A and B are shown apart, each in its own frame.
Chain A
Amino acid sequence: MPVILATDIIVYLVFAFIGFIFWSACARDGYARQVWTHIRGNRLAIISALILAAYAGVALSDSIRWRDSVMLYNGKVAVSPENKTIYSSEALSILDRVFHKARANTEKTFSAPMADKLYVKETIELEDGTTIRDYAALKYPSTHLLGTDKVGGDVFFSAMKGVRTGVVIGTGTTLVVIPFAIIFGVMAGYFGGRIDDLIQYVYTTLASIPGILLIVSFMLIFGSHGYQGGLITDANLMLGVFVPSDRLFWLCLIMGITSWTDLCRIIRGETLKLRELEYVQAARAFAVPRVLIMVRHIVPNIMHLVLITMVLQFSGLVLAEAVLSYIGIGVGPEAGSWGNMINTARLELARDPVVWWSLLGAFAFMFALVLPANIFGDAVRDALDPKVNTKTKSGGD
C-alpha cells in the first residue's frame, strides 16, 4: 500500500517537469531544444546535469514508498478479521529498500569511514574473564563508506536520506517563489499606479517582518503536528495513502512566502525598465493585448534574472535548512537532513579525537548539489540568451 506525503507531490512535479523538458527537447523546436543544442558541446554542463539528475533520481526513489503486506509463516498474506490485508507498520521507500543493509547494519557507536574497529575504546570482556579497554571490532567491518555516527547509524545512508530533503527544500521553495515573484513583479512594474502601490505595499510589509519570526510562528502553528520526518510508521502518525500534513511541506511554503519578495523587487525594477523600451511601445502601438505583451515581451526578457536569482537562492535554501534545523524549527530532528547532520557534527567536532566524517558527508553532499546547480544554471542562462547562443554557433563553423 503506497504512502504519499505532501512533499512527494513536489518531487513528482519536478520529475514531470524534467520529463516535459526532455520530451520537448527531443520533439520540438522550442527553448528546450535550443538549450540542448547549446549545452551539448559543454562537457562541464553535461556532467553537472548528470549529477543533478542523479540527485533527482535519489530524491524520487526516496519519495516512492509503500507498506508491505505482512506475511504469515505459511507464506500467506495476513488478513484482518474483516478480511482486509494487514500491512506492515512501516512505509519504506525504494531508497530504504536498496540500501537496506546500510540502514539495518548499525554499529554500537562511532566508527571511522571504512574502519573495521570502533572509534572509541570500550571495556571488553575477554573469554578468560579479564577485561581490557580496547577498540572493539565492528559487526560489519569495512562496509560503512562514511563511517557511523554516535548511535552507530551509517553516515553515508543518512547523507543519502538528506538528498530528498535538500531537493525538496530547494525546488519546493522555488516553486512557490517563482510564480508569486513573476506574476506580482511583472504586474507591479507593467501596470504601475494603484496595482504597483498595492503590490509594493504587500512585499515591503512582508519583507519588513523579520523572516525568522514569521517562519518560527508559522512552523509552530502548522509544522508541529503531522509527519515530522524520520521513519514513517503508524506509531508516529495516522497512515493513510495520502499524508497531507508534512512538516517539510510547511517549511517549503513558509520559506517561499518569506523569500519571494527579493525576486519580486528585482523583477519589478527590470519590468519598469523594459516597459519603456521601444519594442514594448511598438507592441502597444499594434494594439497587442496587455497580457500578451507581458507574456511575450516582458517575461522572456526577465527569465535570465529569475534563473540567476533562483540558482543563487537554491544554494541559500539548502543552507538555510541547516540553520533552521539548528534552531529547532527546520525539518524535524528525526528527519534525515544535512542540516541535522551538521548540527550533530558540531558536538562531534568538539570531542577528542575529532569525529569529522558526519560533517564531511553532509558538506560533500551539499557541495555536490550546489556547485553543479550553479554551473548548470549558468549554462542554461547562456543557452537561452540568443546573443551568446547564436554567436557560438556561427563561431563553430
Chain B
Amino acid sequence: MAPIIEVKNLRTYFNTPKGTARAVDGVSFNIDAGETLALVGESGCGKSMTALSLIQLVPEPNGFIAEGEILLDGLDITRLPEYEKRRIRGNDIAMIFQEPMTSLNPVLTIGSQIIETIRLHQGLSQKAARAHAIEMLDRMKLPSPKTLIDEYPHRLSGGMRQRIMIAMALACKPKLLIADEPTTALDVTIQREILTLIKELKEELGTAVLLITHNLALVSGNADKVGVMYGGKIVESASAKDIFKNPLHPYTKSLLHSLPSITNRNEGLETIEGTVPEPTNFPKGCRFAKRCSSEMEGCSRLEPTLTAENKEDHLVSCHLFDPEFMSESRARPAGKMREPVMDFSRVDDSDAATRPLVLEVKGLKVHYPIKKGIFKKTVGHVRAVDGIDISIERGSTLALVGESGCGKTTTGKAIMQLIDATEGSVLLKGKELTTLNTEDMRPMRELMQIIFQDPYSSLNPRIKVGGIIEEGLKSLKPDLNDKERKDKVSEVLRMVGLSSDMSNRYPHEFSGGQRSRIGIARVLVVEPELIICDEATSALDVSVQAQILNLLRSVQIEFGLSYLFITHDLGIVEYMADKVAVMYEGKVIEYGRTEEVLGRPKEEYTKKLLQAVPTID
C-alpha cells in the first residue's frame, strides 16, 4: 500500500537577521493510512515547523521550503499554486493546535465555526452541514450536541474545546491529521480521552496521523512509529515498541532517563546539559555532540548519517553504530567528565512522623460567591476548596494531585494567604495565619513562598532579573544594604545554575527553563522554609524539567526545605513526594504515604487517575 504522505528530504528555512535558520534540515518519513507517526524532541528542534510545512503554512514571508518533496497520495504539494494548497488544507490535511483556549474564535458559536469549515470544503447546504456538525460533535462524545452547537467557546472547558477542534479538523475526513501537542494544556484524564478519541477515529476513517509531543510517555500506546528529532533532523526512527525497548541514540536514551518515576526516586535525574543548538548556527559534525555523554573524538568533525540498525525500520544517526567509524582512532571517547549521579536517597524516614510540622492545614474552605444581576446579589457559592486537612513535616514533600478545577491552586493561594479562606485554619510552624493582618503577616511571608507554573507570566517583563530577585529581599529583609543585597542575588543566581551577570537582562531574553530558574531564585533568596510549587515544571521540556527537579531536590536536602508540590503529573509525584493528597471537587479524598496511595489506591477516583497516566512499558 502506498503511504498517504511521503516526505522526502524536507528543508524549511527562515531568513533571520542572524542568517538563515535551518529549522527543518533534511527530514524524510512516510505515514500510511491509519498509522500514527509521533515526532518527539525538545522544543526548538523543528517539530512544529515540520508540521507547518506539511500543511503548507510556513510563516510568510521569512519562512520558505528550500528543498524536498511532500507527496500527498503521490502528488507533490509543495509545487501547487496557492489556491490548490488552500483546497488541500482542511480538506486533505487538517491540524489541531496545542492551545484549545485560543484556537477557537470567541465571538462565534461553535456550530458556526464547524459549519463554516464543512461548507467551505464540501459545499454542503447550511442544513446538511449543520446536521453533519451535530453528528461530528456526537462522535466526539460531547454531551447533548444539539444544544452545544449553539454555545460560545468560553462556556466550555479546555478538554471540550479540544474535542471541538478535533471535530472541526475531522469534519471533512482529511487524509492526514496533524496534532501539535494536542493535550499538553490538558489534564491527564482528559489527555487520555482525547488521545483515545483520535486513535478510534483514525482507525475508523483510515486517517494518517502525525502526532507531535514532547511527552515521551504519551507516545507509547498512541503511536505506531516514532521519529526523534534533534537540530532539524530525525536522529532516530523506529516502531514505538523498539524506541522504548531498545533506544539506540544517546539523545533518545537521555530523554527517556530524564523522566521522573518511582524507580529513580533516590537519585538525581539524568539531565541533558546545555540547550538545543541555534538553527542559524548548527555545529559541524554531529549536532548533538556538545551535549552527548558518549561523544567521541571524531564526532564533532563528521556528521553521522541516518542508517538502519538491527532492523530495517530502525534508523539511527550516530557514529556509535557505524562499524567503520568505530574501528578507527577517532572513535576514542572525547574524555568528557560524566556528571556523577546525584544521591537523593531519602534520609531514614522512620522519624518523619516525629519531625516538627512546618505546615498544618485544618478544615480549610474557600467559597467564591456567585453574584448575579445588577445588584450583585449572592445567589450561591463555588466551593473551590471545601474542607481539607493536610500537614507537612520539616524537610519533606507533600504532593497535591487532581484534575484542573478541583481546587489545587486555590488551596495553594489560600495557604499563602493570597486569598482569604472562608473557614478553617492554616498553621505555619504553629502560628495561625488566617487571623493575621497585613503587617503581622510580613515576617511569616519570609518563611513561606510560592513558585508559579507559567515561566512566562510569572516574571514582570519590564523589570530586569536582578530587580525581580531583589524585590522580595527589599520587602522582607529591609535591613540589608545595597551591597549585601547584590551579593545575595549573585549567590542565588549561581545556586540555580545561572551566572550572576545575567541580573542585568530582561526576562524575555531567557528560555523557559532559565525563567523557571529565575522564578526559583527569587523565592530561594529570601530563605523560606516552606515552598509551594504550583505546577512549577509542567510547562517545560522533560530535559529542563529534570534539571529543575534536581535543583529543587538538592536545595531541599541542603537546607531542609519542605515542599507542597501541586501537580497533575504522577511521575513527578512518585519522584518527589513523601506524601500524597488526592483532591477531587474541593476535598481531599485520599491522603497518605506516596507508596501506599499510588501503590494500593483505595478510592475509585485515584485508580482512574492512575490508569490515565501514560506510562512507558
List the interface of chain A (C-beta within 8 A of B).
Answer: 277-279, 281-289, 296-297, 300-301, 386-387, 390, 395-396
Contact A288 B475 (CB under 8 A): yes
Contact A286 B471 (CB under 8 A): yes
Which 3 A-B residue pairings sit nearest by Cβ, starting from the closest? A278-B458, A395-B17, A278-B452
State whether A285 and B462 are in contact (beta carbons under 8 Å apart), knowing that A277-B457, A395-B18 are contacts in the complex.
no
Residues of B within 8 A of A296 (CB): 460, 463, 471
State whether A285 and B471 are in contact (beta carbons under 8 Å apart), knowing that A278-B453, A387-B461, A395-B18 are contacts in the complex.
no
Contact B471 A386 (CB under 8 A): no
In the complex formed, the residue of A with least CB distance to B505 is: A390
B502 to chain A: closest CB distance in Å?
13
A278, A281, A289, A386: the one within 8 Å of B508 (CB):
A386
B449, B460, B508, B509: the one within 8 Å of A285 (CB):
B449
A56 to chain B: closest CB distance in Å?
28
State whether A287 and B457 are in contact (beta carbons under 8 Å apart), knowing that A300-B462, A390-B508, A390-B509 are contacts in the complex.
no
In the complex formed, the residue of A with least CB distance to B448 is: A285
A396 to B509, CA, bound (A): 15
Contact A285 B418 (CB under 8 A): yes
Residues of B within 8 A of A286 (CB): 445, 449, 471-472, 475-476, 526
Contact B460 A297 (CB under 8 A): yes
Contact A287 B445 (CB under 8 A): yes
A161 to chain B: closest CB distance in Å?
41
B119 lies within 8 A of chain A by Cβ: no
Residues of B within 8 A of A396 (CB): 17
A112 to B17, CA, bound (A): 52
Residues of A within 8 A of B450 (CB): 281-282, 285
B11 lies within 8 A of chain A by Cβ: no
A16 to chain B: closest CB distance in Å?
25
* Interface mask (B462-482 → A, CB under 8 Å = 1, otherwise 0): 110000100110111000000
Contact B475 A279 (CB under 8 A): no
Residues of A within 8 A of B95 (CB): none
With A282-B458, A286-B471, A297-B460 given, name 12 new contacts (CB 8 A). Answer: A278-B454, A279-B459, A285-B445, A285-B450, A286-B449, A286-B472, A300-B463, A301-B462, A386-B462, A390-B506, A395-B17, A396-B17
Residues of B within 8 A of A284 (CB): 418
Contact A287 B460 (CB under 8 A): no
Contact A287 B462 (CB under 8 A): no
A301 to B453, CA, bound (A): 20
Residues of A within 8 A of B463 (CB): 296-297, 300
Residues of B within 8 A of A283 (CB): 471
B522 lies within 8 A of chain A by Cβ: yes
A279, A287, A288, A301: the one within 8 Å of B458 (CB):
A279
What are 20 A-B pairs with beta-carbon distances under 8 A? A278-B452, A278-B454, A279-B459, A281-B450, A285-B416, A286-B449, A286-B471, A286-B475, A286-B476, A287-B438, A287-B445, A287-B475, A287-B476, A296-B460, A297-B460, A301-B462, A386-B508, A387-B461, A390-B505, A390-B506
B530 to chain A: closest CB distance in Å?
12
Residues of B within 8 A of A300 (CB): 460, 462-463
A224 to B318, CA, bound (A): 87
A300 to B454, CA, bound (A): 20
A288 to B18, CA, bound (A): 41
B507 to chain A: closest CB distance in Å?
8
Contact B508 A287 (CB under 8 A): no
Residues of A within 8 A of B441 (CB): 287
In the complex formed, the residue of A with least CB distance to B472 is: A286
In the complex formed, the residue of A with least CB distance to B459 is: A279
B16 to chain A: closest CB distance in Å?
8
B413 lies within 8 A of chain A by Cβ: yes
Residues of A within 8 A of B418 (CB): 281, 284-285
A282, A386, A387: the one within 8 Å of B522 (CB):
A282
* Interface mask (B412-446 → A, CB under 8 Å = 1, otherwise 0): 01001010000000000000000000100110010
B605 to chain A: closest CB distance in Å?
29
Residues of B within 8 A of A279 (CB): 457-460, 468
In the complex formed, the residue of A with least CB distance to B443 is: A287
A300 to B476, CA, bound (A): 23
Residues of A within 8 A of B526 (CB): 286
Contact A282 B452 (CB under 8 A): yes
Contact A281 B461 (CB under 8 A): no
Contact B476 A281 (CB under 8 A): no
Residues of B within 8 A of A282 (CB): 450, 452, 458, 519, 522
Residues of B within 8 A of A277 (CB): 457-458
A278 to B452, CA, bound (A): 7
In the complex formed, the residue of A with least CB distance to B444 is: A287
Residues of B within 8 A of A281 (CB): 413, 418, 450, 452
A328 to B571, CA, bound (A): 74
Contact A301 B471 (CB under 8 A): no
B450 to chain A: closest CB distance in Å?
5
A390 to B506, CA, bound (A): 9
Residues of A within 8 A of B471 (CB): 283, 286, 288, 296
In the complex formed, the residue of A with least CB distance to B17 is: A395
A286 to chain B: closest CB distance in Å?
4
Residues of A within 8 A of B509 (CB): 390
A395 to B15, CA, bound (A): 12
Residues of A within 8 A of B505 (CB): 390
A108 to B505, CA, bound (A): 66
**Central interface residue in A288, A301, A386, A395, by most chain B CB within 10 Å:** A386
B94 to chain A: closest CB distance in Å?
32
B357 to chain A: closest CB distance in Å?
21
B342 to chain A: closest CB distance in Å?
28
Taking CB atoms and an 8 Å cut-off, the chain B residues in 1-49 that contact chain A are 17-18
B183 to chain A: closest CB distance in Å?
23
A203 to chain B: closest CB distance in Å?
17
Contact B508 A387 (CB under 8 A): yes
Contact A386 B506 (CB under 8 A): yes
A288 to B471, CA, bound (A): 8
Residues of B within 8 A of A390 (CB): 505-506, 508-509
A93 to B449, CA, bound (A): 62
Residues of B within 8 A of A297 (CB): 460, 463
A296 to B459, CA, bound (A): 12
B438, B452, B461, B476: the one within 8 Å of A386 (CB):
B461
In the complex formed, the residue of A with least CB distance to B439 is: A287
Residues of B within 8 A of A387 (CB): 461, 506, 508
A192 to chain B: closest CB distance in Å?
12
A296 to B18, CA, bound (A): 34
A297 to B450, CA, bound (A): 18
Residues of A within 8 A of B453 (CB): 278
A382 to chain B: closest CB distance in Å?
14
In the complex formed, the residue of B with least CB distance to A276 is: B457
A397 to chain B: closest CB distance in Å?
10
A290 to chain B: closest CB distance in Å?
9
Residues of A within 8 A of B449 (CB): 285-286
A284 to B438, CA, bound (A): 10
Contact A287 B506 (CB under 8 A): no
Contact A278 B522 (CB under 8 A): no
B419 to chain A: closest CB distance in Å?
10
In the complex formed, the residue of B with least CB distance to A197 is: B376
**Central interface residue in A279, A283, A296, A395, by most chain B CB within 10 Å:** A279
